[in-house]
Amino acid sequence: KMREYTEKKETCGAICLKYLLFIFNFFFWLAGGAVMAVGAWTLAEKSDYISLLSSSTYSATAYILVVAGVVVMVTGILGCCATFKERRNLLRVYFILLLCIFLLEIIAGILAYIYYQQLSMELKQNLKNTMTQKYRKAGEESVTSAVDKLQQEFKCCGSNNYTDWADSQWIRSPEASGRKVPDSCCKTITDLCGRRDHPSNIYKE
């Protein structure tokens, strides 16, 4: 009887552990799907803005998110299979992958913390350079369209603020027809509305 009780207890423990692992894997798989969805959404919905960034590092981030999401989802499926089929080799591979993902997340978190300010400043500078040098330039129609869309969507003007446009090659040229900022900076867009940079007319920041 004691042996039967012990075996039953072990069986219950194994079943509980199996289902706990399955629940963990399910949420792990969902998290991977969410990460992949964010990457895919960035590529689909925000791809216009990629042309504003001179560095390919930022555009690569979206692809990294998609790949990371796929890896996490595959790891989650592998974990489920290993749990229910009780294959030790599969479980070993699964735990090694989990450890790798965990270590990569720690490294990514540390790097993000260390380089956040540097990347933020670099991003602002890159954005300003792109806006001032490529806006309304022949062959840079995608940049022009992205800048106009960005300023209207986020109700902003320039990279830091509206004074960034004072350095614009287009604003300084006769083609700007006396505009101080592009018309897309205006709260209500009308032709040549960028001539007046009063706060009641344009977004200042």
pLDDT in tens, 135-181: 999 999 989 999 999 999 999 999 889 999 999 999 999 999 999 99
Do residues 140 and 146 touch, judged by C-beta distance below 8 A? no
* Secondary-structure breakdown of the chain: helix, strand, coil percentages, each rounded to the nearest 5: 75, 0, 20
- Is pLDDT of 9 > 90? no
Do residues 77 and 29 touch, judged by C-beta distance below 8 A? yes
Distance of CA 10 to the CA centre of its chain: 46
Residues 18-70: tens digit of each pLDDT:
777 778 778 888 888 888 888 888 877 777 777 676 666 666 777 888 888 88
> What does the chain come to in residues?
205
Q: Which amino acid is at 110?
A: I
- Is pLDDT of 8 > 60? no
Q: Which amino acid is at 205?
A: E
Q: Which amino acid is at 128?
A: K
pLDDT mean over 4-17: 59
Q: CB burial class (10 A; 0-12, 13-18, 19+) of residue 15?
A: exposed
Do residues 79 and 25 touch, judged by C-beta distance below 8 A? yes
Interior CA angle at 55 toward 54 and 60, to 5°?
A: 130
Q: Which residues face 202 on adjacent strands?
A: 186
Q: Rounded to whole angstroms, what are the CA distances from 42 to 15, 26, 191?
A: 41, 24, 31
Q: What is the pLDDT of residue 5?
A: 46
Q: What is the pLDDT of residue 7?
A: 47
Do residues 155 and 203 touch, judged by C-beta distance below 8 A? yes
- Is pLDDT of 6 > 60? no
Domain ranges, ordered by start, for the chain: 12-131, 140-195
Residues 68-124: tens digit of each pLDDT:
888 888 888 887 777 777 677 777 777 888 788 878 778 877 877 787 777 777 778
